[in-house]
Structure 1
């Protein structure tokens, strides 16, 4: 993390869990990457060593084997796009051209039979992913997956505009786009697919449930920024994460930026726990499963973050924790001074099932 900068154990009250077939899933995902030749040979070689299958086995520890494998292949594919085109490729400095390519990939996700990018490995991989989404999910889940992919693509073009200009967005703008450019929202439909249910719209689209998903995204991306700071700062290119935003706009030292970011994610974690506990008491079995999966997603990303060579960077070791803390550094109940998410703290303790108590709930698979 740079001289003297050490990441302390982060607050994580969520218990760890992992799918029993995680090692096999990791091997299968490496083979899938080779079959579709995702990214350059050098990039692919790096990605298959980063335990991406194990990461996804932590997200869906009791999920259907086929969906855990699908999720792992998809996450590796996302890194092929993000690392290959956005972070390290020329298109990462050309937002207009990047938008053009991503629109073509979006068309492949919408209509895999369309003759778009016929010789492109990322397009071929995406066609395979879409067919498997259709096999293991519903039409509604496939549509939400495509919509979330559009959100992700839109946000990485925004990031590319800053990369080209060498500018650093303020904390409010960064927070908003980080909810999407971390590619967390594209995973959400697969949380449902993994356990073979479909969350009803009156629950999924309820303001409080949507907020819980956004809180999970915030925690996951803040943790990722903390864990990846050493790797990104040590690189020669442009990088953007919350520590750099705080250093640049708040004029904080790296240590103070780290302390501030940890306090921010701790306060959101405390709010997430309070909200999901309330929602779980009042929601359907499907909603309880969904909220538990959000928690597994958070913890899975944490366990992967402190163990994967993607972030531990053995050749230039990062000062990472080997465990987690059971105490938050910030338990405040006041909203963070970030307007785009301050509304989370104003949520009334209402059930997403309010007014729909007579609606029959499906059994959770």
Structure 2
């Protein structure tokens, strides 16, 4: 029977019983808009039934997965997608969280060899989408989504999705290596890795698909557009690391910017959270300053670029606000945490049973 995880590098006894979370939603909401997709429920019914047909989860874990509200998250993060594009985007989000859970807090978490297997099978499903369906069920769901994405996505968007998926899976593998060896990078080094483990580069590729856009390299390689995407990635990812720290420390997970800051800067928990919050505030301001410098790409592209950037902004605020609409991070107390900003530091949680990966 699995034992309880340990934070070998930090003494949990120094943690307070509760912490006050910074109000990131309010200051981010002054810059980033919030909207919900009107096709949410229709897409959700089909998407959940599709994912359930693969039998990835069963019993209580299955119920918890579907009760988490990934459909709402997709509707908040892709609010301008039509139904034809929202449904595949929702399928992608279900795959992403299932894969992330297996490698982050599930049965693959500390096993480098099994994570490498999972990564190889996953990328093979994307590079050979017309090949046999993988026995690894999570990879099979990705292959199914990707086949449908290819049917109405541009070649450039498809390539961006595959490239960003490679960055994500390789970063997940590196994170597993770090975690298994209790390797703690510097804050700066972790931020670089986190930009890929966040999967935000993937979700922005799906964003372009969801809007039916085909932005040329001239746009994606523009330093200001690239900075807006990078800042959006940082803001929502760092906010997530603050909000998820109470449950991640309970799982013994050190791959979180708050923990990295505690270790690298030798700060206590409250000061580390404040440090990451100040980084996030600064990044929001940098986003505003960069957006003010956005150039014109000409009459044929300007409206499309504006739609894409607006989509980045919806993703940032949608992901932040969804944190307080789901049981994923704060359990049944999510409404109390949203109203008070106070969250309990959870007791250790036993890890999931090991997962065996079949090609």
In the alignment, which residue of structure 2 is the partner of 1:255?
270
Kindly tell me: are residues 151 and 3 of structure 1, through their superposed partners in 2, closer, same or farther at Cα, counting changes over 3 Å?
same
Report the alpha carbon displacement of residue 23 of structure 1 after superposing the two structures with TM: 2.9
Q: Deviations 1:192-246 (Å, cap 9, x if unpaired)?
A: 12221211111111222112111111011101111111121233x3342111011
Query: Offset at 1:142?
Result: 1.0
Q: Please name the residue that 1:7 is paired with.
A: 21
Tell me, in whole angstroms, the C-alpha distance in 2 between the residues paired with 1:171 and 1:30. 37
The structure, 1 or 2, with the larger RCO (C-alpha pairs under 8 Å, 6+ apart) is: 2
| 1:113 maps to which of 100, 125, 130 | 130
Query: Structure 2 matches for 1:1-365, cutoff 5 A?
Result: 2-10=16-24, 11-12=27-28, 13=30, 14-39=32-57, 41-89=59-107, 91-115=108-132, 117=134, 119-235=135-251, 237-279=252-294, 284-314=302-332, 320-322=337-339
* TM-score, normalization by structure 1: 0.82
**CA distance in structure 1 between the aligned counterparts of 2:217 and 2:90, rounded to whole angstroms:** 26
Q: 1:275 to 1:242 in 2, by over 3 A?
A: same
In 2, the alpha carbon distance for the partners of 1:41 and 1:67 equals: 30
Query: Structure 1 residue 134: deviation in Å?
Result: 0.8
Gaps of 5+ in 2: 1-14, 342-359
TM-align CA RMSD: 2.2
**Contact 2:36 2:75 (8 Å CA) reproduced:** yes
Residues 207 and 238 from structure 1, CA distance in 2 versus in 1: closer, same or farther, beyond 3 angstroms? Answer: same
Partner-residue secondary structure (3-state), 1:36? coil
Deviations 1:103-154 (A, max 9, x none): 121011111122363x231232112111111123112111111111100000
Distance 1:124 1:195, change over 3 A: same
Query: Greater shift after overlay, 303-312 or 216-225?
Result: 303-312
Q: Is the 8 A contact 2:326 2:334 kept in 1?
A: no
Indicate the residue corresponding to 2:355 in structure 1.
none
Superimposed CA distance per residue, residues 157-189 of structure 1 (whole angstroms, 9 cap, x where no aligned partner) = 111011111232210111001101011111112
Q: In structure 2, what is the Cα distance between the partners aligned to 1:128 and 1:116?
A: 9
Q: CA deviation at 1:100?
A: 2.7
Aligned residues: 320
- TM-score, normalised relative to structure 2: 0.83
Give, in whole Å, the separation in 2 of the partners of 1:298 and 1:148: 18
